[in-house]
Amino acid sequence: MVLHTGWWKSTLRAMSDVMIETVNLHRGYRIGEKTIEVLHGIDLRIDRGERVFLCGPSGAGKTTLLYTLAGLERPEQGAVRIGGVDLYAMSRKQQARFRNLQIGYVFQNFHLLPELTALENVAVPGAIAGRDSTAAACRALERVGLAERGDHLPAELSGGEQQRVAIARAIVNEPKVLFADEPTGNLDSRNSSEIMKILLDLATEHGVTLVVVTHDQQLAKVGDRTLVIRDGSIHPEE
Ligand SMILES: Nc1ncnc2c1ncn2[C@@H]1O[C@H](COP(=O)(O)OP(=O)(O)OP(=O)(O)O)[C@@H](O)[C@H]1O
Ligand SMILES: [Mg+2]
């Protein structure tokens, strides 16, 4: 029997069950004459269901890396594969649909729509997917312990509650991958532990692959692996 190389490659990938893979990822910003190299050839492999924490100093490129992994910021060079699918090789329309259904993203500053209620905010990704999303949005709010706050506008919620609404919105379409950028950044320790438990439970109970940015190396210890980004490269925890 003659086995095609492509067959071997795809079989090996399935066996190792890599969920997120980057190859030689480069990303920089140009301000006038100056270029800042933020990601400098990053090679990363994260397994399905793995819970990875990403640490590093302010300005090191944590948000830039997360954006690039989630299909929100095209790298200048390199590839990002989610479940074997090359994110930046798709058309914009295909990519938007893939993101909507497969990827959840909790933004560093929540990014809730101020004129929509908590429930309406959570329903947005479902509506984009063409689903009747109110029931799913209610379930997601319940999951983060905010069933009673559905009618509140973001301005009528505390920081921790807004963060939980942002998580509910990120999980409403039951994504396979969840990125969370400093989800406990402005919270006290009790709220931080609660938010972290919600995220970890998602990974444990639903096999969601989790990548969480945090400044708090202590908090990061609950994950399977901690990566540190410094000088444009990824290092294992020191
Ligand atoms: N749109 C942009 N234009 C120009 N420079 C940018 C842009 N976004 C980020 N940068 C620069 O890229 C670098 C990395 O920024 P990034 O937001 O990824 O850092 P970070 O590790 O998330 O920091 P923090 O912990 O403060 O959130 C910083 O030096 C920042 O000034
Ligand atoms: Mg950031």
SS3 191: helix
- Would residue 9 count as lying in a domain? no
- Residue 8 domain-assigned (yes or no): no
Q: Is residue 1 part of a domain?
A: no
Per-residue model confidence (pLDDT) at position 125: 93
Q: Which one, of 163, 155, 149, lies nearest residue 107 by Cα?
A: 163
215 against 118, higher pLDDT: 118
Q: Radius of gyration (Cα) for the chain, nearest Å?
A: 18
Across 165-181, average pLDDT: 94
* Atom 31 of ligand 1, residue of closest alpha carbon: 59
Return the pLDDT at 211: 97
Average pLDDT over residues 173-183: 94
Structurally, the chain folds into a number of domains equal to 1
Mean pLDDT in residue range 144-149: 93
Summary mean pLDDT of the chain: 89
The domain in which residue 211 lies consists of 15-236
CA of 181 to the centre of ligand 2 (A): 7
Banded pLDDT at 1 (limits 50, 70, 90): very low
Residue 144 C-alpha to ligand 1 middle, in angstroms? 29
Percent of the chain scoring above 90 in pLDDT: 68
Residue 7 pLDDT greater than 50, yes or no: yes
* pLDDT reported for residue 217: 79
pLDDT average, residue stretch 176-195: 88
Rounded-to-integer distance, Cα 49 and Cα 21, Å: 14
- Greater confidence, 202 or 168? 168
Banded model confidence at residue 202, pLDDT cuts 50, 70, 90: confident
Mean pLDDT to the nearest integer, 125-129 = 89
Whether residue 209 has its Cβ less than 6 Å from ligand 1? no
Please determine, for residue 6, whether its predicted confidence score (pLDDT) is greater than 80.
Answer: no
- Confirm or reject: Cβ of 145 under 6 Å from ligand 1: no
Question: Best of 62, 179, 216 to mutate for ligand 1, by most ligand atoms within 8 A of CB?
Answer: 62
Identify whether 214 is part of a domain. Answer: yes
The finding on whether 36 has its CB within 6 A of some atom of ligand 1 is yes
Q: Find out whether the beta carbon of 29 lies less than 6 Å from any atom of ligand 1.
A: yes
- Domain CATH for 197: 3.40.50.300
Kind plus residue range of the DSSP H or E element containing 23: strand 18-31
Q: Does 214 sit in the ligand 1 pocket, CB within 6 Å?
A: no
**208-213 average pLDDT score:** 96
H or E element: which one contains 85? strand 85-86
Residue 18: per-residue pLDDT: 94
Strands 209-213 and 177-181, bridge-based pairing: parallel
- Verify whether ligand 1 is closer than 6 Å to residue 61 (CB atom): yes
Residue 10 lies in a domain: no
Task: List the beta bridge partners of residue 40.
Answer: 26
d(CA 9, CA 142): 42
Q: Which range (13-22, 73-82, 109-118) has the least confidence?
A: 13-22
Is pLDDT above 60 for 45? Answer: yes
Q: Residue 57: inside a domain, yes or no?
A: yes
* Cβ atoms 230, 198 nearer than 8 A: no
- pLDDT band at residue 177 under the 50/70/90 scheme: very high
